[in-house]
Each structure stands twice: as structure tokens, then as C-alpha cells.
Amino acid sequence: MSSSPYFSLAVLFVAALAFGLGPLGLAWLWARFYSPRKPNPTKNSIYECGLVSKGDAWVRFRPAYYLYAIIFLIFDVEAVFLLPFAVAFSGLSAAACIAMLVFVLLLVEGLAWAWAKGILTWA
Amino acid sequence: MDENLKIELGKQGIVVTTLQELYNWGRRSSVWPMNFGLACCAIEMIATTMARYDLARFGAEVFRPSPRQADLMIISGTVTKKMAPQVVRLYNQMAEPRYVIAMGACAISGGPFKQGYNVLKGIDRYIPVDVHIPGCPPRPEALLQAFIALQKKIDGQHLTGEDRPRFLDAEAQGEFPVPEQGEHDLVPTSNKGVWPIKIQGLGTRD
């Protein structure tokens, strides 16, 4: 058996398992003898900064929020590009102006699409 | 084990210890305070954690934003009657063993605002406090000293026997009643289990 090329691998596998499970088992044993459980309703309630918790922690977030956030992010970044564009505007070549125009119009088209889809209406 | 024998063995390069000593050493070297400040004392508490005073030297730099992961509650500042129920509830939500340092004159007695109708005259009316620090506010060195005092206390706790701490006693209750806002004051005005404080050799303090 020890002649098998996979023998050392098996030994390492068992050692790795013991390395992980050993401390967990010891901690479990320790908790069993030296850490009596004291649950109570206050302790088990949902954490809400010390206030009495209301409802469940598993609340739903509307996907509309994420679409709204992504659109905001895109135009936030666009503003970063628009500022140097405006500062250097008088010294720009026609090609640079057209490139910038394409960039802005693409984003405007995206905004028009989102508007037509009704994403901007919070309902 | 005899202390002298232990020192003699230590000179020969043999380290002797007990499970209890190891356990307490581990606990006192990794006390995680709760990320929680009430008033001006909290600024001193924050200063204590920063580079100049460096609470991390004592293994307590990990301020946890949730009571589930914290061992130590530093009551840093004035506890108003509006805030007291929240403080007691947070204490209840901490996992055992849990410790409390009452930092500053307000936390231990109401301090300069003792006459105020809205100020609790010391948090030890509702929860057991391990270390009291006077001062308004106490300097970071005072908080460090309180922390070292707490470490000494943890070091001296026994795993078994009659004098073992409350968290090791399966019979002892883990819940401390959360007061409610009454018509004129908090109801009840104190937790009879922890107040008045019993000081050994002095009877009770009112």
C-alpha cells in the first residue's frame, strides 16, 4: 500500500483534515465544559444598535435601486471627463471634439433609453 | 502548584503551566472592545486606540461594531436615561464572558450632570461594572491602567469552584432586565441584583 504513488497524498489529506477539525473539536469540547449557554430573548433578538428590533433582518431591496445607482455612477464618472474637456475646450482639435461628442451622445442615448424604460420613475 | 517551584523550574528552562492559566492568558490578551462611544470620554477612548497610546499593545485594538463579537464594553461618557435601556440591551446581546469598564465621572456616578433629571447616576445601577475610572475625562493613561486592571482580574478568575465567575456558572442568569421609560424615571430605577454594590468589608453602598 505504501508503494502506491498516492500514499503520501492520502497521508497529507488526513493531516490537513486533522489540522482543520482538531482545533474545532477542541473548541467544541471546551465550550461544552467551560462555557454554559445562557440564551435569552434579548440576546437572541436581531441586532439593531441597541434598539428594540422591528421585523425581520431578511428584508428585500428593490432592483430599481441598483439600476438607479448604476445610472448615477455612469454620469458621476462622465462629469469627471467633462471637466477637463471644458477646461481644454478652446485648444482642442476638431477630431478630439468629435470623439468627446460621441462619448457624451452615447451616454445621453443610454439615459434616453433608461427614461423611456421608466427606470427614472420611482414607483 | 507552588510558585517558588515554578520559578525554580523556569530557571532551568522548563515552563510549567495550568489549563486555567493558559485559558486566562489567551482571554486577557485578546479582549475585543465594542465600538461604542457615548460622550466626550469616547474621544479619549479613540485617542487610546491610536498610535500614541496604542491599546493594541495589550491585544485590544479590535473594536467590533457588533455586540456579538465583543468581550468588553467601555461605557465612555454620560449615560442619559434615554440611552440607558439601549446600553443595557447591548450588554445583554454581548456573548459571555463579557466585561464592563465605566469610564469617567459620568459613567460611574452621573458626574457633573448628577443633578440633571435626564442623567443616570452611574451605569452600575443596571449592569455589573468590573473597573471604574474616575476623571472628567480620564486621560488615555487612565484607560490603559483600567484595562491592565481588567486583565489582572481576568487572570485571577477560576475555572472551577465556588468563586468561579458568573459566566461559568450554568445556574446564573445571563439576562439583565432592560429598564423602560416610565412617567418620571426609568422603571425600575435600578437592578436589585447588582445595585447597591456590595463592597467587601464595607457592607453596601447606597
> Among residues A37, A59, A81, which one ends one of the domains?
A59
What is the sign, positive or negative, of the torsion defined by CA atoms of A41, A43, A49, A50? positive
Does A77 share its domain with A89? yes
How many domains does chain A divide into? Answer: 2
- Chain A positions touching B174 (Cβ under 8 A) are 38-40, 43
Q: Does residue B200 carry a pLDDT above 70?
A: no
CB contact under 8 A, A40 and B170: no
User: Which pLDDT does position B67 carry in this prediction?
Assistant: 92
Instruction: Classify residue A42: in a domain, yes or no.
Output: yes
Q: Which domain holds residue A49?
A: 1-59
CA distance A104 to A107: 5
The answer to whether B65 faces chain A, any CB pair under 8 Å, is no
Q: A10 and A32, same structural domain?
A: yes
The answer on A67 and A55 residing in a single domain is no
| Residues B169, A36: C-beta atoms closer than 8 Å | yes
A76 and A37 within one domain: no
Interatomic CA distance for residues B113 and A13, integer angstroms: 64
Last residue of a domain, one of A20, A41, A59: A59
Q: With helix as H, strand as E and coil as C, how does B186-200 read?
A: EECCCCCCCCCCEEC
Is A122 inside a domain boundary? no
CA–CA dist A49, A46 (Å, integer) = 9
Does residue A91 share a domain with residue A113? yes
**Domains of chain B, CATH where assigned:** 32-61+68-156+176-195 (3.40.50.12280)
pLDDT at B160: 85
Averaged over A5-34, what is the pLDDT?
Answer: 93
Tell me if B168 sits within 8 A of B159, measured CB to CB. Answer: yes
Tens of pLDDT, residues B158-188: 888 888 888 888 888 888 999 999 888 898 9
Model pLDDT for residues B93-148, shown as the tens digit of each residue: 998 889 999 999 999 999 999 999 999 999 999 999 999 999 999 999 999 999 99
Predicted confidence at residue B79, as pLDDT, reads 94
Residue A22 forms part of a structural domain: yes
Mutation test of the interface with chain B: which of A33, A37, A45, A49, choosing the one with the most B Cβ atoms within 10 A?
Answer: A49
Buried-state track B95-112, b at ≥16 Cβ within 10 A, e below 16: ebbbbbbbbbbbbbbbbe
Question: Is residue A9 pLDDT above 70, yes or no?
Answer: yes
Domain boundary among A43, A59, A75: A59
From CA B24, how far away is CA B159, in angstroms rounded? Answer: 9
- Residues A73, A89, single domain; the answer is yes
Band of the pLDDT at B204, cuts 50, 70, 90?
low
Both A31 and A67 in a single domain?
Answer: no
Helix ranges (H only) for chain B are 3-11, 19-28, 41-49, 84-93, 104-109, 140-155
Q: Within this chain, do residues A9 and A43 fall inside the same structural domain, yes or no? A: yes
| A39 and A53 within one domain | yes
Specify if A123 maps to a domain: no
Q: What is the ipTM of this complex?
A: 0.75
Distance between CA atoms of residues B67 and B73, nearest Å: 9
Angle at B194 between CA B139 and CA B199, to 5 degrees: 70
Instruction: Please indicate, yes or no, whether residues A44 and A70 belong to a single structural domain of this protein.
Output: no
Contact yes or no for B175 and A34 at CB 8 A? no
Chain B: residue nearest A51 by CA? B86
* CA distance to partner chain A, nearest, from residue B194 (Å): 18
In the block, residue with C-alpha cell 440611552: B83
What's the CA gap between B73 and B129, in Å, rounded?
A: 9
pLDDT tier for residue B63 given thresholds of 50, 70 and 90 = very high
Instruction: Decide if B96 touches A, using CB distance below 8 A.
Output: yes
Question: Can you tell me the mean pLDDT for B51-78?
Answer: 92
- Write out the H or E segment, with its range, that includes residue B184: none
Say whether B92 and A40 touch across the interface (CB within 8 A): yes
Q: Which of A26-30, A106-110, B101-105, B197-201 has the lowest mean pLDDT?
A: B197-201
**pLDDT score, position B202:** 58
Rounded distance, CA B110 to CA B118, Å? 10
Give the span between the Cα atoms of B45 and B63, in whole angstroms.
11
Long-range contacts of the stretch A112-118 (C-beta < 8 A, 24+) = A114/A67, A114/A71
- Whether A92 is in a domain gets the answer yes
Residue among A38, A40, A47 whose CB faces B67 most closely? A47
Q: Which of B86, B87, B96 sits opposite A38 (nearest CB)?
A: B96
The verdict on A38 touching B (C-beta cutoff 8 Å) is yes
Residues forming a β-bridge with B101: B74, B131
Q: Do both A104 and A86 map to the same domain?
A: yes
Q: Considering the domain boundaries, does residue A28 fall inside one? A: yes
Residue A18 lies in a domain: yes
Question: What is the chain A residue with the closest CA to B89?
Answer: A50
**What's the number of CA atoms in the CB half-sphere (13 Å) around residue B19?**
6
Please tell me the distance from the alpha carbon of residue B63 to that of residue B175, in angstroms, as a whole number: 23
The answer on A52 and A75 residing in a single domain is no
